[in-house]
């Protein structure tokens, strides 16, 4: 027993100091880092995988939305072209009808002016 006490005193450290000293803190830190690293190695890939799956779903939905919007744009453009063509044909038809009755309107206007001038000269009777 005396030899053991002498050895402990010679080394300057007791077993209690070894368990609570800086060496045990270093060992505890290394164990914690390794344990946390192993846990993260299992946890992080699943989180990243779920995130990537969600991103893929979002991209698919956006592609569907984009295709729908393009189809709608094409339909709207086609309908607009049909409306423009209908307006052009209608206005051309109106223009041809108005050109046909323009001389009649000018004649009626001339007659109205003639009658109003006659009424002014007749004394308003």
pLDDT tens digits for 21-42?
A: 788 888 889 999 999 999 999 9
In this predicted structure, what is the pLDDT of residue 115?
A: 84
Alpha carbons 44 and 89: distance in angstroms, whole number = 67
Q: What local confidence, expressed as pLDDT, does residue 123 receive? A: 56
Percent of the chain whose predicted confidence (pLDDT) is above 90: 45
pLDDT in tens, 77-99: 999 999 999 999 888 888 888 88
Instruction: Identify the band that residue 74 occupies on the pLDDT scale cut at 50, 70 and 90.
Output: very high
Alpha-carbon torsion (38, 40, 43, 49), positive or negative: negative
Establish how many alpha carbons lie within 13 A of residue 18's alpha carbon, considering only the half-sphere containing its beta carbon. Answer: 6
- Is 118's pLDDT higher than 60? yes
């Amino acid at each position: 027993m005396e030899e053991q006490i002498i050895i402990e005193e010679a080394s300057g450290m007791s077993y209690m100091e070894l368990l609570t000293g800086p060496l045990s803190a270093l060992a505890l830190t290394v164990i914690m880092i390794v344990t946390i690293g192993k846990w993260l190695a299992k946890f992080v890939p699943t989180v990243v995988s779920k995130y990537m799956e969600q991103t893929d779903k979002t991209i698919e939905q956006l592609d569907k939305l984009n295709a729908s919007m393009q189809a709608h744009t094409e339909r709207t453009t086609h309908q607009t072209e049909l409306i423009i063509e209908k307006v052009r044909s209608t206005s051309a038809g109106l223009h041809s009808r108005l050109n046909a009755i323009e001389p009649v309107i000018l004649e009626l206007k001339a007659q109205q002016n003639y009658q109003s001038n006659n009424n002014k000269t007749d004394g308003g009777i």
